[in-house]
Amino acid sequence: MMSWPLDSTPFLWGVATSSHQVEGNNHNDWTQWEEQGHVPEKSGRACLHYEKYPEDLNLFAELGINAYRYSIEWSRIEPEPGYFDQNALNHYRAMTEAVIRHQMEPMVTLHHFTLPLWFANQGGFFHPEAPQLFARYVKQVVSALGDLVRFYITINEPMVYAVMGYGNGQWPPGHKNLKEVWQIGPRLLACHNAAYHQIKQQRPDAMVGLAHHLLAFEPYNSRSRLDRYNARLLHSLFNGRFIQWTKHTADFIGINYYTRQYARFRQFLTPVPHKPDQVLTDMGWEIYPEGLEKLLVAMKRYDKPLIITENGIATNDDQLRQQFLKDHIAAVGRAQNQGAIVRGYFYWAGLDNFEWAEGYRPRFGLIHVDYATQQRTLKDSALLYRRIISANQGRWPISVPPEPEPPVSDL
Ligand code: FCB
């Protein structure tokens, strides 16, 4: 088992965001997609996090978190091929310094779904020189931030990116071509590998990985052998493929976990998202904490530290969010008890934000954002998260503390 080189690093309790979803006023392939009318709302000003990050970090600090995962917007760093914008690099350096001043470990994502227009217009990751171009951008980022940042995610959710952009065409570039879904995989892998080696060259002790979207695939009919077979197939294709491929170029496994899907043999590669009569989130996703436990335990076979790089719920019912948080953190603790080396948990998202093809309707945040006034308000779930974090200092496995006793006068 690869040792955790940062033994002095405590369990990472964090929140996550991504540049396009919170920054506002971006100019990339996603804004182009929005302008072309493919989605109900444009990202526009988003949360204005690009300028309001000092306020947001103050609010995050109130949660007691010790880590923040955010992404660097490639289109800001390299708006034209080979031209690197020093102001943008300075911005991310200042923001990273502020993260550290708040005693949070920065975890930097280098690609979270968006691309500079020039790169997207030349085929994106199908560009024949994509690995070199991606590594050239990464080099600039690590030159600017490398002394401050130890944790890097090269690519967020390669399988989701492949399916949404090239399979069902709901995201840019909007292709619907099963062959491309397969072909983009090795391209993304080559870009990851190039970035991995680039980062290691500049900072050998960096911890580099990907964030994988893992779905808990289960047979629609557990008595059907064919459904069970299909669940295993989907698990290995969707969940296992990239993890297997990056065995030698990943220092940890980043896991984004949200839900379960049901495998039906007769639907082969298209799982059923949920069964009738289930309680669903505002994304239409089933709430299934046991899936996180099972997946974490299943990941033990890869012998790498695990970090939950995203887990969260879209809902306006904050009670439901609180229950979600407790149930999923309890699931992580159970997995740790069964030997899963889980080193961190990042709630998605620190604040409400732009949810891609769904626009602003789904609210994932621990912090409410009024998009008209840009006013932020801590939700009760944020206070619960703070209580969970403070009760878990130095604890392994992590757990959910009991409800505080009501004051005697209330009895
Ligand atoms: C994940 C994405 C993230 C966010 C959540 C809800 O797939 O990584 O950007 O949209 O889903």
Best residue for ligand 1 mutational test, from 163, 256, 328 (most atoms within 8 Å of Cβ): 256
Q: Distance between CA atoms of 308 and 16, rounded to whole angstroms?
A: 10
Atom of ligand 1 nearest to the CA of 21: 9
Residue 242 Cβ contacting ligand 1 at under 6 Å: no
Residue 18 Cβ contacting ligand 1 at under 6 Å: yes
Residue 213 Cβ contacting ligand 1 at under 6 Å: yes
The angle formed by the CA atoms of residues 293, 296 and 297, to the nearest 5 degrees, is 85
Query: How confident is the model over 24-45, as pLDDT tens digits?
Result: 999 999 999 999 999 999 999 9
Q: Distance between CA atoms of 97 and 103, rounded to whole angstroms?
A: 10
Residue 19 Cβ contacting ligand 1 at under 6 Å: no
Q: Is 402 exposed, middle or buried (0-12, 13-18, 19+ CB in 10 A)?
A: exposed
Q: Which residue has the higher pLDDT, 9 or 318?
A: 318
Query: How confident is the model over 44-55, as pLDDT tens digits?
Result: 999 999 999 999
Atom of ligand 1 nearest to the CA of 356: 10
Distances (CA, A) of 375 to 47, 361, 379: 9, 17, 13
Residue 300 Ramachandran class (φ > 0 left, ψ -120 to 50 alpha, else beta): alpha
Q: Is the per-residue pLDDT at 201 higher than 50?
A: yes
81-84, Cβ contacts within 8 angstroms, sequence gap of 24 or more = 81/118, 81/119, 81/133, 82/136, 84/140
Residue 392 Cβ contacting ligand 1 at under 6 Å: no
Global confidence as pTM: 0.97
Q: Is the per-residue pLDDT at 4 higher than 80?
A: no
Atom of ligand 1 nearest to the CA of 364: 6
Q: What is the structure's pLDDT at 211?
A: 98
- In one letter, which amino acid is 88? A
Question: Ligand 1: distance of its center to the CA of 410 in Å?
Answer: 41
Q: Is the per-residue pLDDT at 371 higher than 50?
A: yes
Atom of ligand 1 nearest to the CA of 213: 7
Q: What is the structure's pLDDT at 267?
A: 86
Query: How confident is the model over 116-163, as pLDDT tens digits?
Result: 999 999 999 999 999 999 999 999 999 999 999 999 999 999 999 999
Q: What is the structure's pLDDT at 2?
A: 45
| Per-residue pLDDT band at 269 (split at 50, 70, 90) | confident
Q: Is the per-residue pLDDT at 7 higher than 70?
A: no
Mean pLDDT for 166-194 is: 98
The neighbour count for residue 310, using CB atoms within 10 Å, is 24
Residue 157 Cβ contacting ligand 1 at under 6 Å: yes
Atom of ligand 1 nearest to the CA of 113: 9
Residue 352 Cβ contacting ligand 1 at under 6 Å: no
Mean pLDDT for 164-168 is: 97
Residue 310 Cβ contacting ligand 1 at under 6 Å: yes
Query: How confident is the model over 380-405, as pLDDT tens digits?
Result: 999 999 999 999 999 999 999 998 87
Q: Is the per-residue pLDDT at 166 higher than 50?
A: yes
Q: Are 338 and 36 in contact (CB under 8 A)?
A: no
Question: Ligand 1: distance of its center to the CA of 160 in Å?
Answer: 9
